Structure 1
Amino acid sequence: MLFQRDGGLQVQVRSTIEALRQLAAPGLEIELVDPNHQRLDHYDVIHVFSAINGNYRVLEVATEMGVPVLLSAVLSPGWSRQATWRADIADRLTGRLTKWQVQTSYAQIKRALQLAQMVVALGAAEKQALIEGFKLEPARIQVLPNGIGEQFFHADSAIFRRQTGLEGPFVLMVGAISPYKNQHGLVRALAQLDLPVVLIGRAQHQHQAYLQQLLDSPKVRWLGQLEHHDALLASAYAAASVLALPSQGEVFPLAVLEALAAGTPVVMTDESALSLPHSGFALKQLRWDDTQALCRAIQAFVAAPPPRADVSALVQAFTWQRVAQKIVNCYHMLHERGTRGKPDAV
């Protein structure tokens, strides 16, 4: 079901494949596995994206076949020692109540992490969650961030202005339209300001009423869902005064990286694995439900925007080409080690 919708994970998978192919590393062939028609032991290394949604079964089968696996965990940093302790108790209780016929998602995540020969964390916070929450050995973890497409570093704001007719400052929010993403909190925070809010993202059927509630505000303009390669998306980042992402939680949000690449400052949730050194002048991370702090931070960026070149420089190293080379190195490490059977330390 992965590609039945579009979001950050789908962009990560597609962008990784594209960047690896463009890298054209000698002896390396990359393809998306079709598990309905291909066996996993047709490959030398399997790269699994996300430790959730039943992906542990892929790792189990690959392990049985002796194929090493690189797992991009994509886990929330909220998996602390205390959180996993509670989840472990809930899992054991669930098992006993159902005579071990029901398994929790926590148990599946734990199983996937145990089986992977190498685990990718998107940042230091996610690595800490893997170590503290799931007792993963630090030597098995590689920290590799998501990449940013070149088009976001060279985005032209004129495309957005021309197509929308929207002039002057505005706040942009990119992501699925849902209560979890908290677009309503953003609109509420800006209620007293004469500042338009532009939303980009898809609203699923169950969130149509939520979307309509947002559109009832005369300040809100919704552009629907834009393809990731659409020039209008990159242009929207460049034209915006601020990108806001006050969601209840994010792992390593691509929208934030892309906005920064376009030179736009960001106000976002502090429930995230994203950490950029010396970024306080352009990146504010706040409690997701603190509407007053959200309003103040946005006002400050609109009144005194940081130099766009300095903002973009924060993420200059996050190109897909650099990330792809590091991923290739991980593939070679697994392949050359000839990992078979039980996971080894990396």
Structure 2
Amino acid sequence: MLFQRDGGLQVQVRSTIAALRELAMPGLEIELVDTNRQRIDSYDVIHVFSAINGNYRAVELATEMGVPVVLSALLSPGWSRSAGWRARVADQLTGRLTQWNVQTSYAQTKRALQLAQMVIALGEAEQKALMDGFKIESSRIQLLPNGIAERFFQADAKRFRQHTGLEGPFVLMVGSISPYKNQQGLVRALAALDLPVVLIGQAQRQHQAYLQSLLASPNVRWLGQLEHHDPLLASAYAAASVLALPSQGEVFPLSVLEALAAGTPAVMTDESALSLPGSAFALKQLRWSDTDSLRQAIQEFVGVPPPRAAVSALVQTFTWRRVALKIADCYQLLYERRQQGSGDAV
């Protein structure tokens, strides 16, 4: 079901594959596994994206077949020691009440993390969540952020301005339309201001009423879903005065990184693994439900915009090539370990 929707996870998977292929490294062949036609043990290394949504079965199967696994965890940084303890207690109670016929999602996620030979965390906050919430050893965790496509660094506002007719300042929000993403909180925060809000993203059927409630505001404009490679998306980032992402939680939001690359400051939830030292002049991370602080931060960025070149410089090192080189090193390390293990067994 992975590619039946489009979002940050899908972008990450496709971008990782493309960046690894562009390296053109001798002996490195990358492909998306088709489990209906290909056996996992025909590969040297398997890379699984996301520790949730039943992916523990893929990790289990690869382990049974002797294929090492790199697991991009993509976990919420909200997993603390206390949250992990509560989840383990709930798992024990669930098991005893059902004679161990029912597993919690926590147990499945933890199994995937425990079986994987290497776990990738997108930032220090996610690394801490892995260690505190799931008791994963730091030696098994690699810190590797997402990358940003070069086109976002080179984005120009002209295309978006011509397409929409918007000439003045506006706030942009990119992401699926849903209560979890909290577009309504953004609209409420800016209700007293004459400041347009542009929404880009898809609304699932169950959230159509939510979308209509947003569009009832005269300052809201919805552009629908834009493909990640659409030049209009990059142009929207460059044209915006501020990117807002007051969702209830984000792992490592690509939309924020892409906006910063385009030189646009961002205001977002503090429930995230994203951490950029020295970024306070261009990135505000707030409690997702704090509409007063959200409004104030947006007003400050609109009133006194930070220098776009300085904003872009914050994420200058987040290139997909750099990320791909490090991921390729992870693959190589696990491949060599597997070969050494095979040699020891002969």
- Tell whether the structures are fold-level matches, with TM greater than 0.5: yes
- The within-5 A match list for 1:146-165 is 146-165=146-165
What amino acid maps onto 1:103 in structure 2? Answer: Q
Does 1:269 pair with 2:269? Answer: yes
In the alignment, what sits opposite 1:344? Answer: none
Query: Alignment partner of 1:335: what SS?
Result: helix
1:238–1:263 CA contact under 8 A, matched in 2: yes
Cα distance in 2 for partners of 1:339, 1:291 equals 55
In the alignment, what sits opposite 1:12? Answer: 12
In the alignment, what sits opposite 1:77? Answer: 77
Cα distance in 1 for partners of 2:241, 2:288 equals 20
Cα distance in 1 for partners of 2:178, 2:134 equals 29
Shift of 1:13: 0.1
1:67–1:339 CA contact under 8 A, matched in 2: no
Q: Which deviates further from its counterpart, 207-216 or 76-85?
A: 76-85
1:2–1:10 CA contact under 8 A, matched in 2: yes
Query: Alignment partner of 1:338: what SS?
Result: helix
Shift of 1:138: 0.7
In the alignment, what sits opposite 2:312? Answer: 312
In the alignment, what sits opposite 1:167? Answer: 167
In the alignment, what sits opposite 1:321? Answer: 321
Shift of 1:82: 0.6
In the alignment, what sits opposite 2:136? Answer: 136
What amino acid maps onto 2:57 in structure 1? Answer: R
In the alignment, what sits opposite 1:117? Answer: 117
Higher relative contact order (Cα pairs below 8 Å, separated by 6+ residues): 1
In the alignment, what sits opposite 1:106? Answer: 106
1:68–1:339 CA contact under 8 A, matched in 2: no
TM-score where L is the length of structure 2: 0.98
Structure 1, residues 16-36: CA drift from partner, whole Å, max 9, x if none?
000000111111000000011
Shift of 1:96: 1.2
What amino acid maps onto 1:111 in structure 2? Answer: R
Cα distance in 2 for partners of 1:88, 1:224 equals 41
Query: Alignment partner of 1:195: what SS?
Result: coil
Cα distance in 2 for partners of 1:45, 1:284 equals 39
Query: Alignment partner of 1:203: what SS?
Result: coil
In the alignment, what sits opposite 2:344? Answer: none
Cα distance in 1 for partners of 2:194, 2:133 equals 44
What amino acid maps onto 2:58 in structure 1? Answer: V
1:120–1:141 CA contact under 8 A, matched in 2: yes
Query: Alignment partner of 2:172: what SS?
Result: strand
What amino acid maps onto 1:36 in structure 2? Answer: N
In the alignment, what sits opposite 1:145? Answer: 145
In the alignment, what sits opposite 2:227? Answer: 227
Q: Which deviates further from its counterpart, 92-101 or 229-238?
A: 92-101
In the alignment, what sits opposite 1:200? Answer: 200
Structure 1, residues 136-161: CA drift from partner, whole Å, max 9, x if none?
11111000000001110000100000
User: Please, which runs of 5 or more residues in structure 2 have no aligned partner?
Assistant: 342-346
Structure 1, residues 147-196: CA drift from partner, whole Å, max 9, x if none?
00111000010000001111100000000000000000000000110100
Query: Alignment partner of 1:133: what SS?
Result: helix
Cα distance in 2 for partners of 1:107, 1:91 equals 7
Cα distance in 1 for partners of 2:189, 2:146 equals 30
Cα distance in 1 for partners of 2:324, 2:296 equals 38
1:74–1:121 CA contact under 8 A, matched in 2: yes
When the two chains are superposed, the root-mean-square deviation of aligned CA atoms in Å is 0.9
What amino acid maps onto 1:248 in structure 2? Answer: Q
In the alignment, what sits opposite 1:302? Answer: 302
Shift of 1:99: 1.3
Query: Alignment partner of 2:198: what SS?
Result: strand
Shift of 1:340: 9.1
Shift of 1:339: 7.0
TM-score where L is the length of structure 1: 0.98
What amino acid maps onto 1:259 in structure 2? Answer: A
What amino acid maps onto 1:14 in structure 2? Answer: R
Shift of 1:134: 1.1
What amino acid maps onto 2:78 in structure 1? Answer: G
Structure 1, residues 58-100: CA drift from partner, whole Å, max 9, x if none?
1111011100000000000111111111111111111111111
In the alignment, what sits opposite 2:41? Answer: 41
Identity of aligned residues (%): 79
Structure 1, residues 308-338: CA drift from partner, whole Å, max 9, x if none?
0000000000000000000000000000111
Structure 1, residues 86-117: CA drift from partner, whole Å, max 9, x if none?
11111111111111111111000000000000
1:67–1:340 CA contact under 8 A, matched in 2: no
